[in-house]
Amino acid sequence: MGETVTVKIALPKGRLLETTATLLRKAEWGLEGYNQSMRNYRLGSRRFPDLQAKVFNERDIPVQVAVGNYDLGICGLDWVEELSIKFPSSALVKLRNLGYGEGVVCLAASHHQPAPTTEELKEETELIRIASEYPNLAEYLALGLRLRRFSVFPLWGAAEAYPPESAALVLVSYPTEQEVLASGLVSVNVLLNHSAFLIANKNSWEQKDLSEIVGSIEGQLPFTAEIQSKKAATISAEKGYHPWQTDEDTVRIALPDGHQQTHTVTLLNKAGIRVEDYPSENGNRRPGTDLKGVVIKVIRPQDMPLQVANGNFDLAVTGHDWLTDHLTMFPSSPVTELLDLKSGRVKMVAVVSREVPADDIYSLRQLVAKQTTPFRVASEYVNIADKYARDNHLGMYKVVPTWGATEAFLPEDADLLIENTETGRTIARHNLKIIDTLFESTGCLIGSRNETSSLVKQERIESIVGKLRAAVEGE
Amino acid sequence: MRMQRCKGTQDLSPEEMRKFRLIEGAFRDCCLKWGYEEVRTPTLEYLHLFTSTGTLTPGTLGKVYSFLDWDGWSGERVVLRPDATIPVARSYIDAGQDGGLTKLFYVTNIFIFEETGKETRERWQCGAELIGAGSTTADVELITLALDILKKLGFRKVELQLSHAGLIRALLAEFGLTSQEQASVFDQILDGDEAVFNRLKAKTPEVGEALAPLLDPKGQSAGFLRNLKALFRRDLPEFEPALDNFIDIVDLMEAMDYSYQIDIGSGRGFEYYTGIIFQLSAGRQRVAAGGRYDALIPLMGGQEVPASGFALYLDPLMGLVKPETLDGQLPEKVLIRAGDSTPETIREGFRIAAYLRETGYGAEMDLGTQPTEDVRWILDVKNEAPRFVVTDTTTKKEFKARTAKEVLALLGGNGDS
């Protein structure tokens, strides 16, 4: 055995956190503060002093391990496959099924219509729209099924809200096939059964001694999580939604889920628009409304500009930041801001580690010019980040897409962040500093510049925009 | 920071470009003489052009360069052309052709991702498509055209391998594979996986037993195919149409004294073939391939029209072309030196250079740093009579001349003769 070397591991937040924490507790790693309420993403191990653990969104982990920022990682096999199906030469080794966090990735349709067979899908000559958080797997599946014509909408979430009106098919992951049904979907084709996996960077695996760490986990397998019992209880009754009854006069509105809901409800109340069961306690994504000729779905604000561009929705409440990201990618998109809602004000900022000797983008550019390694820009807003790096001539840069908690990427795993911030406190707490402000962002109502299908619909849209404008201006 | 070439791409040097143009020139010259007309299709196409069943295999589709265009919010992707035949077929349909005879050729690049970056991801092809002719004569015409071009390029030992897509399909049906499985197995075969027959044989030994002669199908005569036909006539009548077609083609090839090898498992990564599939190899490298694809144009929404084609692969050919084939390509070179560098002598230098070029020489002004190894003549321009001094670099002899015509006479008259 040689001298000790630092080993880095990427651990998951979210759905796998508790089970993974239990496993590592049994393996006696002595990780301090790996729990749902953690404030620090960097963790040390009492048992393995040379181990550095960092906590990521699960989806970021395969990328971080593949690029060699981490030697080991724990995440769902679904995200590993999402990466390696598109980039088969990724330096990833799947070491061990950890036996928890099971799920099934399947292609699903609305249960309100007879599910199409794969033969029927193959014969279809019209465009088939597939929405998914797994765009690479979705494309792979569509090619494998020999679909003649398809388009894939990448999603941030809420895929179950899309069929049948906004997408014919969704590629989704649920713990079991029953739960696919429970969310109003029916499985057409099962692509993958997955569970939590221990993965390694290929070079690390071939060159570093990871035996003690891997062995400590191996010793606990097969491992059944104590908290798994919770799972069965949370399966709700089938969400008995009704598909939209729409005609050319119907106005289709997208409202945000997540923390933007509070602002949105306040605004709707002020405008005198009643929306029932929003926010919904049981995850209903199709709230009712007293507005005539209007239907509503609740989806992720990140996904809205693309959905409006595609004509799936006429109006949507999202953020100026997401609209800007969309228009940066698609400059001729028909989506436009109809109304500034003046809520949820944040700044889009460029952030570096406090250790970096640059206080503005110009001095940063000079630093980058001397650098011989690629400059890494991490952001949830990949198009804004790409344009910013391009416009500011940050040399040989690459954009690292992230799915949240981007602050934790600096300084080890990225050199610059493009992030939104309300107060700047989180940035300061992570020992980071702002070197540039790109723009301010508030909530906004978006719509399409394309002509609407009918005059009645046009009038309805104008009426809703009018009510919301009055509510905003009345503040 | 040193700027690097993108992984999996290549720069073509002047010498490589000479080879490239030599091959392209021989190809274009032959095609034009055979009555084919040149077309060029765009580099960008919609992905869905290639995704329909019967166009590209999922294996190939998994390696295309596809992306969202600037107006790609609908999610429909565009690709860097991964194949040359399908766009030509599309353009044929686009142009509203009536199903009549159309003979087209093209020189184009195609883009396929190759993981290791060791092989090039941008590949050049010279291809010909014969649309509207379904006869065996048409099949043999394409093979003959391809062989003609290779002969012009100085290739003496070219191997010809033949297979037949109709026969492969009939064979796979015999293994009781569902249409879905059949397609994927066929894909594997066409993706070049020849071991797949052997796996099938192992899986269903009793069928494999009966089909063994076909599963190891290497023969060198029409007689071989007739033997196969005789063997299967009673048990497998569904093999007959494909075998008959194959025999007709091979008969014709024998009448034309072609040597060939029948190898059912040979093929390449397309599944649009319906009839004969052929490939040509030189120096153990595959340098051309083609075949009949009667179903492609109807499948893409065009009329029922038979079609076939082939492509020469420029990249391996460039490596195989012998240096002597390049001889005589370039005209004799004259280096012109304006002795005292006054505007008058320089002007006189440019003038005589233009005159020499018109008469077939290569003429270059001396810019002070000119390498002289490949210079046949040096022409010094003076500002007093006699104005020109010609030096023969091989004999080192000098000749004086007063006029451009005298210079030309000294050089021997005609640079490219």
| Residue A350 clears pLDDT 50, i.e. is over it | yes
Q: Are residues B268 and B366 in the same domain?
A: no
Which tokens go with A202? 């290929």
Residue B117 touches chain A, beta carbons under 8 Å = no
pLDDT at B170: 79
Q: Are residues B169 and B298 in the same domain?
A: yes
* CATH number belonging to domain A103-193: 3.40.190.10
Closest CB from A144, A146, A333 relative to B73: A333
Q: Are residues B214 and B293 in the same domain?
A: yes
Q: What is the pLDDT of residues A183-200, one digit of tens each?
A: 889 988 899 999 999 999
pLDDT at A116: 87
- CB contact under 8 Å between A149 and B48, yes or no, is yes
Provide the residue-wise pLDDT of chain B in tens; the chain has 417 residues: 577 888 889 999 998 999 999 999 999 999 999 999 999 999 999 988 888 756 777 777 888 999 988 888 888 889 999 999 999 999 999 998 777 899 999 999 999 988 777 788 999 999 999 999 999 999 999 999 999 999 999 998 999 999 888 887 777 777 777 666 666 676 666 566 667 767 776 777 766 666 666 656 566 667 777 777 777 766 677 778 888 899 899 999 989 999 888 887 665 555 788 899 999 999 889 999 999 999 999 988 889 999 999 999 999 999 999 877 777 667 889 999 988 889 999 999 999 999 999 998 999 999 888 777 889 999 999 988 889 999 999 899 999 999 999 999 998 864 443
B416 inside domain: no
Q: Which domain holds residue B164?
A: 14-324
CA distance A122 to chain B (A): 8
Q: Pick from B324, B357, B376: which residue ends a domain?
A: B324
Q: Are residues B151 and B232 in the same domain?
A: yes
CA–CA gap between residue A327 and residue A441 (Å, rounded): 14
pLDDT at B326: 72
pLDDT at A226: 47
Q: Which residue of B has its CA nearest to A126?
A: B48
B264 inside domain: yes
Q: Domain residue spans in chain A?
A: 7-98+196-233, 103-193, 251-343+443-473, 346-441
A330 in Cβ contact with A309 (< 8 Å):
yes
Which tokens go with B405? 């015509």
Q: Which residue of B has its CA nearest to A142?
A: B51
**Domain A7-98+196-233 adopts which CATH fold?**
D-Maltodextrin-Binding Protein; domain 2 (3.40.190)
Q: Are residues B244 and B370 in the same domain?
A: no
Comparing B171 with A399, the larger pLDDT belongs to: A399
* Mutation target among A127, A151, A306, A446 for the B interface, most CBs of B within 10 A: A151
Could you tell me which residues come within 8 angstroms of residue A230 by beta carbon, excluding any fewer than 6 positions away? none
pLDDT at A16: 95
CATH number at residue B366: 3.40.50.800
Which tokens go with B64? 């295309």
CA distance A251 to chain B (A): 20
Among A residues 368-427, those touching chain B with beta carbons less than 8 Å apart:
372, 395-396
Q: Are residues B316 and B375 in the same domain?
A: no
- CB contact under 8 Å between B76 and A395, yes or no, is no
CATH number at residue B23: 3.30.930.10
How many Cβ pairs closer than 8 A exist between chain A and B? Answer: 57
Quote the percentage of chain A above a pLDDT of 90: 72
Q: Positive or negative CA dihedral for B323, B329, B332, B335? A: negative
A55-61: average pLDDT: 94
* Mutation target among A146, A304, A366, A382 for the B interface, most CBs of B within 10 A: A146
* A300: amino acid identity, one letter: R
Name the superfamily (CATH) of residues A346-441: Periplasmic binding protein-like II (3.40.190.10)
Q: Which residue of A has its CA nearest to B50?
A: A148
Q: Which residues does residue A8 pair with via DSSP β-bridges, in sequence order?
A: A52
Q: Are residues B115 and B137 in the same domain?
A: yes
Q: How many domains does chain B have?
A: 2
Q: Pick from B279, B300, B324: which residue ends a domain?
A: B324
pLDDT at A123: 83
CA distance B181 to chain A (A): 12
Quote the percentage of chain A above a pLDDT of 70: 95
B204 inside domain: yes
Query: Residue B218: how many CB atoms within 10 A of its CB?
Result: 12
Q: Are residues B190 and B263 in the same domain?
A: yes
A448 in Cβ contact with A336 (< 8 Å):
yes
CA distance A87 to chain B (A): 9
- CB contact under 8 Å between B70 and A122, yes or no, is no
Q: Which residue of A has its CA nearest to B115?
A: A89
Q: Positive or negative CA dihedral for B255, B258, B262, B265? A: negative
- CB contact under 8 Å between B51 and A149, yes or no, is yes
Q: Are residues B374 and B298 in the same domain?
A: no
pLDDT at B54: 61
Chain A contacts of B62, Cβ < 8 Å? 140, 143
Which architecture does CATH list for A251-343+443-473? 3-Layer(aba) Sandwich (3.40)
pLDDT at A234: 41
Place of tokens 């709230």: A287
- CB contact under 8 Å between A153 and B48, yes or no, is no
Place of tokens 């070029």: B357
Q: Would you give the DSSP letter of residue A45? A: B
pLDDT at A230: 40
| Residue A136 clears pLDDT 70, i.e. is over it | yes
CA–CA gap between residue B12 and residue B19 (Å, rounded): 10
Long-range CB contacts for residues B385-389, cutoff 8 Å, separation at least 24: B387/B348, B388/B352
Closest CB from B53, B68, B72 relative to A122: B53
Closest CB from B51, B74, B75 relative to A143: B51
Residue B119 touches chain A, beta carbons under 8 Å = no
Query: With 0-12 CB in 10 A as exposed, 13-18 as middle and 19+ as buried, what is A245?
Result: exposed
A6-13: average pLDDT: 95
- CB contact under 8 Å between A127 and B76, yes or no, is yes
A72-81: average pLDDT: 96
CA distance A259 to chain B (A): 26
A372-384: average pLDDT: 93
Q: Are residues B235 and B378 in the same domain?
A: no
Residues in chain A: 475
| Residue A229 clears pLDDT 60, i.e. is over it | no
Closest CB from B62, B71, B75 relative to A151: B75
C-alpha dihedral (B340, B342, B347, B349), degrees to nearest 10: 10
A85-95: average pLDDT: 89
Q: Pick from B276, B306, B324: which residue ends a domain?
A: B324
Residue A232 touches chain B, beta carbons under 8 Å = no
